[in-house]
Amino acid sequence: MRQLLLAAVVVLAGSTYPVARADKVEVKGVHLCCGACVKTVGNILKCTTDTGKVFELKNDAAKTKVNKVTVKDVHVCCNTCRTVIGELFKGTTITYEGKGTQRDVTIAGDNLEPAAVLQTLRNAGFTGTIQKQ
């Protein structure tokens, strides 16, 4: 979320500060893991479109297919949590790393979308962050 805020500040500051401007500016590496993030950035940038500038938001990272997704700091305190997570991702191999109630969960399978994996966990009441591969 800090990256998102920083990117918004940079874009807004750049749109009002009187300096030489480029026709196209590309900001990469901004946290856009799901539709909510894309919508938030879109709303932030919407206030600058009154100046005639056009912003295009791409969420290419969310559609990337991988064979393994690791979600850090997921609440997995007992076998019930493991069972629920297992039922969310049937047909995959799930491993858990760490001790205590917060563990890293790795889901291995074919054609996984990291954003979809995280959203599936969130819909079931689990939280965590995607570990970059």
Question: What does pLDDT average to over the chain?
Answer: 77
Q: Percent of the chain scored above 90 by pLDDT?
A: 41
- Three-state SS string over the chain comes to CHHHHHHHHHHHHHHHCCCCCCCCCCCCCCCCCCHHHHHHHHHHHHCCHHHCCCCCCCCHHHHCCEEEEEEEEEECCCHHHHHHHHHHCCCCEEEEECCCCEEEEEEEEEEECHHHHHHHHHHCCCCCEECCC
User: Which class would CATH give 64-130?
Assistant: alpha beta
Residue-range domain boundaries for the chain = 2-61, 64-130
Binning pLDDT at 50, 70 and 90, where does residue 103 land? very high
Task: State yes or no: pLDDT of 77 exceeds 60.
Answer: yes
